[in-house]
A = this chain, B = another copy of it.
Amino acid sequence: MAPQQPRSGERASRPGIEVINRAVDLLAAFTQGPGSVLTLAELARRTGLPKPTLHRLLAALEVQGLVDRTASGYQLGIRLFELGEHVPRKHKLREAALPFMQDLFEASHDTVHLAVLDGTDVVYLERIHGHRALNVASRVGGRLPAHCTGVGKALLAYNPEAALRVMAMPLPPRTAYTITSHQVLAEELQRIRQTGISYDREENSLGITCVAAPIVVDGHAVGAVSVTSAPGSDVERYASAVRTAALGIRRSLGRTPILHPTPPRARASKKEPT
């Protein structure tokens, strides 16, 4: 009787090795939606995979420590964390940035962020805070659209390619203050290039403002730092401290190369213009 409709429409021919795609989908399922301990049935619902298949996959992942079994279900395993910490774009940047982030924290006692760009999103690499932390939307390893965050705009200002991609897509509002016009965003990026400072005035989340500065290497932002605070307190106060921190991080990176993924096109021809 089964209409047999492929759950997500594209059963046929996804690029890559199907087992691996499924395994990663499975791991990603833990990050979507609430709860961190999931039953096999719940995973079946989230991924659309048949239960025997999931059972087999989970057993294989458990052997490798990427998934743990607990009395009440499965959860992501510590081995996955270990691997994730060896990602060079995270590790090198964080190592260089942390001391400066600590300085910012001691000066402000507010939440301090470190982020990089991935596509048109911002991915948070680090986030330090004290006991009284504002209820920020970000989390380490989390992702937010670049156009509505302080770090995101700082990164876009020094990543023309990514900026173009953002300019080519709609800018969904997240609050009443989110920049939704490409024109306005372009002007904003221009202003950031002039001052070296980027602000987020409740553009992503009400009650949250940020000062951010890009970490610029060879005219290209490899990351950005920010200090977050409540709208009342004037964030401008930390502007120069954040900018100085970004410069310090830049210097501390020294000649550590932070390679960015090669865009698919530019690969065959090895002409690095820079």
Which A residues are closer than 8 A to B by beta carbons?
A: 15-17, 19-21, 23-24, 27-28, 30-31, 36-37, 56-57, 59-61, 63-64, 66, 68-72, 75-78, 80-92, 94, 98-99, 102-103, 105-106, 116, 118, 123, 125, 128-131, 133, 139-143, 259-262, 267, 270, 272
- Give the number of copies in the complex: 2
Residue pairs across A and B with Cβ atoms less than 8 A apart, 10 shown, are A16-B59, A17-B19, A23-B23, A28-B83, A31-B82, A69-B262, A81-B87, A82-B141, A91-B140, A102-B128
Partner among B20, B143, B260, B267 whose Cβ is within 8 Å of the Cβ of A60: B20
Bound Cα distance A72, B92 (Å): 17
> In the assembled complex, which residues on chain B have CB atoms less than 8 Å from the CB atom of A139?
85, 91
| Contact B87–A80 (Cβ < 8 Å) | yes
Additional 5 contacts, C-beta under 8 A, given A20-B64, A71-B259, A81-B90:
A68-B89, A69-B261, A78-B87, A81-B84, A81-B85
Establish whether residues B83 and A85, one from each chain, have CB atoms under 8 Å apart when the complex forms: no
Chain B residue at minimal CB-CB distance from A66: B24
> Is A86 touching B31 in the complex (CB atoms < 8 A)?
yes
Chain B residue numbers with a CB within 8 Å of A84 are 80-85, 141
A90 contact set on B, CB distance < 8 A:
78, 81
A21 to B19, CA, bound (A): 11
Contact at A81–B141, with CB atoms within 8 Å? yes
Query: In the complex, which residues of chain B have a beta carbon less than 8 angstroms from the beta carbon of A131?
Result: 99
Q: Is the CB of A20 within 8 A of B61?
A: yes
A130 touches which of B94, B99, B118 (Cβ 8 Å): B99
User: Across the interface, do A24 and B64 meet the contact criterion of CB distance under 8 Å?
Assistant: yes
Given contacts A82-B123, A98-B129, A131-B99, A71 and B262 within 8 Å (CB-CB): yes
On chain B, the residues within 8 Å of A82 by CB distance are 31, 84, 123, 141-143
Q: If A15-B63, A17-B60 touch, does A36 touch B88 (CB 8 Å cutoff)? A: yes
